[in-house]
Structures are given as C-alpha cells and as structure tokens.
Amino acid sequence: MATIRWARAEQYNKANTYPGANGELVIDMEQNRIFLYDGANAYVSNTFFSANVFIAASFYWANTPTETILYADSPEANGYFGSWASMSGDGDYVAIGAYGQGSYGNAYIFNYSGGSWSQQAKLQQSDTGVGDAFGKRLDISKDSLYVIVGNSEDETETSGFNYNNLDYGAAYIFLRTGSSWAQQAKLTPSDRAQQDKFGSSVTLSDDGTYALVGAYKKYVGSDTFVGAAYIFLRTGTSWAQQAKITASDAQAADQFGWSSAISGDGLYAIVGAIGEDTGGSGSGAAYIYLRTGTSWAQQAKIQAGGSGASFGYDVDISGDGQYAVIGATQAESTAGAAYVFLRTGTSWALQSTLTASDGVSSDQLGLGVAISHDGKFVTVTTRLEDGGDGDPLANAGAAYVFERDDTTWTEVKKITASDAQAQDQFGGYGVSMNADGSKMVTGAWQEDGGSGDPYSGAGAAYIYEAT
C-alpha cells in the first residue's frame, strides 16, 4: 500500500487554470501524481506510484449487455465452433475453438476494431493427422500476443502419424505479429505416452511466458487416469518444460488435469481433479501450486460440494492468484454450483458458494467458470439450462454473472442467447472474461449455423459487454 504525502503545488493556484473543481481529486496520468484543489490552492502528491492506478469502471451487468454473435467463415455440420472460447485482457481479441471442423479441427481469432468484430485468422497445427481434435481447448494471453491450442488426440510420433486412438496429445503455441499469426512451438511432455490426453486443458499467463497443460488420463504404473499437469516456460522464442506437477495424494481415476488455470503473473497454478474421492465418491478436488523461482510446490488442496459433486470440472484464478473459482456440475443435487476461494497468505478458504437463482436439478451449473483479473466478477455457465420458466427450450444453456462487494457475492445477471433454441448448449464448455470483467465470451457449440439452421452442430460464439 502506498502512502500519499501532499505538498503545496505552487504552479496550480488561483492564477492558473486548474483542471478540477473545488474538493476534487484529479489523477494526472502523465505525471502519475494526484492533485487536490481546496478552492484556493492545489496540493500535489509527492509520491510517484510504481504500481498501476485502477479507476472504477462505470458499467453494470444488471443493465442489458450488448451482444455480438460470431460464426465460422466456412461453417459445417458438427464443426462445433464455440466448443471453447477465450478473451484477451482488453477484450478486443477472442479465440474460438472448432475441433469438429474437417478432419483435424481449427481455431479462430477475432479482433474488435473500428466498432465491429471480424475474423483475423484461422489457426491449424503444422502436423495435422486424421482424428485430431485441434481447438477442443484453447487460451489467449491477456496481452493478446499468444494463443495456446490443445489437441488431446494428437498421435504424431517420431515415426510418423498413427491413427489408432493412441491419444498422446499435444499443445501448440501461436504468436501474433501485427495482424498475422504463426505457429511458434509444439509442446509435448518429457514422459509422453499413449492415452495421456495431454492438451485436455491449456492455459497461459498474462504475457504468454508460462503455459500450463493438463493430461488427465496420465497413467502412473498400472494405475489408470491418475493424471498430471505440465508447466512450460518461454525464453525468447523457445519453450521448455519447467515442471511436472501431480497431486500429493494421487490415485487411480482422479483425472488430475481435467481443468487448469494459471495466474496472470505466473506464480500460481490450479488444477482440477474431478474423480478425486476423499470427499466421497466422485466428489472431486482442486490443487493449488506456488512457484518459487523455478520450483513448483503444492500449496493447498481444496474441496467443496460433497460426494458426487465433480468439483474441479472447470477452474479459474484471478490475476494475482488471490481468488480461485471452481465449478462443480453435480453439486446441489445436480443443479450445479461454483465455489469461490480466497487466499490469505498461504491459506485458502471458501468465501462463497455461487448458485443460479433459477437453478434446478440437471442444469449442471459450473461447466464453465471465469473470473476477472481483479477477482471482482465471476461468470458461470450451464449448457443444460432449459430456457427459464416452464423449460421451453431444452438444453438451450445460460450464463450467470456474479459480482463481489467486499466478501459478498451476488448474482447480477442471467444471460441467454438472443437466438436461443433447444439443444444449442449455450455456455458449452468454455467461458472467459476480460481483465476488468466488463466483457465475456462463451460458445454454443451445438448451434445450427445461424438463420435457418443450415448446418446442424456448426456452432456459434457470443460476446457480451456490460453497459
């Protein structure tokens, strides 16, 4: 916390034009100082702030947000555009997965410029193989320069392509230069093996220096589906594995690595294990890791929701690693929930349980979770919500925005697609917010390609901005 000391600013007195009125605080962004005017003289803080100054945004999710619908440039049946979605920190870039397109899958980049959204690039890995699922998971760095795309069905080995459902998995890094995107690296783990499903979850730090990749089917000896996660470090243009992380109490069928997220500063990582059962069969857990230098160590294991909750279905963490949100699709009698945990020092404690105001059994809220950079807003999705009162649209899907006031979380908006139809599954498997929580993106991977439903399962993505 900075201490502000005030000194009289002789250059701002009655003889000069002062930018503020009597009693107003004025932030001079060029000088990085704060000025206060008392009606006769102005006083200036003599402290230059090394940290960023954040100004409260004037937006309200309780109002009706704006909506933009995105489609693939060449939609196709069962292309699953919108199967995963991620947004940059400024909210001007989104990455959209379409793992069902063609024989390999694709990922799309859209950019907001000149008042509208347009497709900037279509990404595909350099070593495509039949049966790939490129784009099933992806993430864009907050600075919008890097994208990581998971392909958990990748089967490329040194001997060439294999099409026998070996599912080694891989993750691909793409770099933006201006408006052009190019593959920078292919990431694979040091202990790569069949059925790892490496790339089943992927995430990047704010500046794309760290990548976290899950492999939820990783075997340990004869134990199946134990799972693991891998952290990669970028040095210049080169990527290298920095660590392999596993649960301290790993067991068969835990599925550690099903979901993952890394804090903006690359200091904290959180990994979901939906099959972990110390809280009851299928209760699930999430594990939090702290980096010290180049070493990673487990800091906490967190759980909530009870037996069968599938806690850890999706996870996210705030920019500074102080807040974590975890989805549990089977909690609350399958209505689903999300749980917000707060870190105080090195200890993590449950702060709030988030449930939908109109939630009913089988909604499975928590399929997707996202938290703003400052931990003030959370969005939670359910692809199985049935369209409101009377359930007129089976599995149309919905998203719920929650806002934090100190330690209290409140649902402030339920969002549904303006063109919602039964079985669209809006909210699918991925949701993302920009840094200040004023925008969010999610997909409807079963949407049928727009007006007239020309392509069954073509998919769509939806961007919302609070007003």
Beta bridge partners of 220: 223
Joined together, the tokens standing for residue 339 give: 């749980």
| Residue pair 215/150 in contact by the 8 Å Cβ criterion | no
Residues 6+ apart with CB under 8 A from 286: 270, 271, 272, 273, 301, 302, 303, 311, 312, 315, 324, 326
pTM summary value:
0.87
DSSP string, 297-350: EEEEEE--S-TT--EEEEEEE-TTSSEEEEEETTTTTTTBEEEEEEEETTEEEE
Q: How far apart are CA 144 and CA 410, in angstroms?
A: 30
Residues 6+ apart with CB under 8 A from 78: 100, 456, 457, 458
Q: How far apart are CA 400 and CA 228, in angstroms?
A: 30
| Residue pair 139/109 in contact by the 8 Å Cβ criterion | no
Separation in Å, CA 422 to CA 139, 335, 391, 446: 28, 18, 10, 10
Separation in Å, CA 234 to CA 124, 190, 192, 362, 446: 21, 16, 20, 42, 35
- Which phi and psi angles does 261 have, rounded to 5°? -155, 155
> In the chain, what is the straight-line distance between the N-terminal and C-terminal CA atoms, in Å?
31
Joined together, the tokens standing for residue 169 give: 């998995």
Q: Exposure string (b/e) for 267-282, b if CB count within 10 Å is 16 or more?
A: bbbbbbbbbbbebeeb
Residue indicated by tokens 């864009």:
140
Helix (H) or strand (E) holding 23: none
Residues 6+ apart with CB under 8 A from 21: 37
Residue indicated by tokens 């990548």:
211
Which of 390, 18, 376 is CA-nearest to residue 26? 18
Which amino acid makes up residue 85?
A
What is the separation of C-alpha 122 from the centre of its chain, rounded to a whole number of angstroms?
A: 20
| Residue pair 166/155 in contact by the 8 Å Cβ criterion | yes
Fold type of domain 66-465 = Methylamine Dehydrogenase; Chain H (2.130.10)
**What's the number of CA atoms in the CB half-sphere (13 Å) around residue 30?**
0
- For residue 23, what pLDDT is reported? 54
- For residue 48, what pLDDT is reported? 44
Q: How far apart are CA 411 and CA 414, in angstroms?
A: 8
Each residue's pLDDT tens digit in the chain (467 positions)?
444 444 444 444 433 444 455 555 565 545 555 666 566 665 655 544 444 444 445 799 999 999 999 999 989 999 999 999 999 999 999 999 999 999 899 999 999 999 999 999 999 999 988 889 999 999 999 999 999 999 999 987 544 555 567 899 999 999 999 999 999 999 999 999 999 999 999 999 999 999 999 999 999 999 999 999 999 999 999 999 999 999 999 999 999 999 999 999 999 999 999 999 999 999 999 999 999 999 999 999 999 999 999 999 999 999 999 999 999 999 999 999 999 999 999 999 999 999 999 999 999 999 999 999 999 999 999 999 998 667 789 999 999 999 999 999 999 999 999 999 999 999 988 999 999 999 999 999 999 987 777 899 999 999 999 99
- For residue 206, what pLDDT is reported? 98
- For residue 190, what pLDDT is reported? 96
**What's the number of CA atoms in the CB half-sphere (13 Å) around residue 418?**
13
Beta bridge partners of 290: 268, 297
Q: How far apart are CA 436 and CA 410, in angstroms?
A: 17
- For residue 429, what pLDDT is reported? 84
Q: How far apart are CA 391 and CA 231, in angstroms?
A: 43
Residue indicated by tokens 């350099």:
126
Separation in Å, CA 235 to CA 18, 93, 206, 209, 210: 47, 24, 15, 7, 10
Show me where the domains of the chain are located: 6-45, 66-465
